[in-house]
Amino acid sequence: MTSNLIVIKIGSSSLTDKIGRLDLPNIKRIARDIAKLKSLHKHVILVSSGAIVSGSGKLGYKEKPRAIQEKQAAAAVGQSLLMHEYQKAFAKHKITVGQILLTHDELHDSAKKKNAYLTISTLLKHSVVPIVNENDTVATDEIKVGDNDNLAAMVAVLMKAGLLINLTDVDGFYEKVGPGEMVKLDVINEITDKIKASASMSDKKHGTGGMKTKLEAANLCKSSGTVMIIANGKKADIVKVSATALGNDSSVVGTVFRL
């Protein structure tokens, strides 16, 4: 495990505004926070959603498309738009970014997996921030990773990262404690049946709709000893989040998975 390597996953909800456009102020804030981490001698890999959402508007879709060919077309347009905004945001901090597009195949075929590892390692050696996304333009239902929670965990395991920061639209993981009542957990040391049941519940306020894949991601991280933390991507200070997860700050930020 490499304690100074941090993988940050940011979901579409943290990258878009209320009407579905790219949230440029938040992208700039994320870039600024990552620049702070790098100034603390941390290496950072960013796993970013948002390509399909970014391209949907350009193609005239009023909502996120559902057909696979429409998603792939939107991703083809949106990926370049997304990378352009990241390049501008990071350039203000004199940081170079590099695009890495992966599919399920690259992360399971031994030769391709090794090549992905070497490419990302070389980028990090040159102080570049790799920006990873699933290659939606060519992936099919059979080979899609399916979500960037699991993709980020696979990357964290591949690179033996010390920490995976999973930025989403809620403040952490909420567990059901009674009828209509849920509380945020600060630390999870074991994924129990009760936690699994809480993740399966539909509760937009507490973001449980996407928590099943986050539990899967936490389980994947377990194999490499990577700590995972869930935090709010719209307001969380990434430097503070990482300090909390690594035990360097007693402040309660998000939910830390130490499995």
pLDDT by residue (tens digit) across 216-228?
A: 999 999 989 999 9
Residue with tokens 């209509």: 180
**Alpha-carbon distance 207 to 213, whole Å?**
12
Distance from the Cα of residue 90 to its chain's centroid: 17
Cβ of 125: how many Cβ atoms within 10 Å?
A: 9
Instruction: Provide the mean pLDDT of the chain.
Output: 88
pLDDT at 62: 78
The first and second tokens of residue 9, run together, are: 């996953």
In this prediction the pTM is: 0.92
Q: Is 180 exposed, middle or buried (0-12, 13-18, 19+ CB in 10 A)?
A: exposed
Confidence bin at 122 (pLDDT 50/70/90): very high
pLDDT at 206 over 50: no
pLDDT at 245 over 80: yes
Confidence bin at 53 (pLDDT 50/70/90): confident
Domain 2-171+210-257 falls under CATH 3.50.50.100: no
Percent of the chain with pLDDT over 90: 58
> Would you call 79 helix, strand, or coil by DSSP?
helix
Phi, psi of 50 (to 5 degrees): 110, -10
**Alpha-carbon distance 213 to 227, whole Å?**
16
Cβ of 201: how many Cβ atoms within 10 Å?
A: 14
Distance from the Cα of residue 152 to its chain's centroid: 6
Q: What is the pLDDT of residues 30-44, one digit of tens each?
A: 999 999 999 999 999
Phi, psi of 46 (to 5 degrees): -105, 120
Confidence bin at 155 (pLDDT 50/70/90): very high
Report the candidate in 96, 95, 99, 72 with the shortest Cα–Cα distance to residue 83: 99
CB 208 within 8 A of CB 174: yes
> Would you call 179 helix, strand, or coil by DSSP?
coil
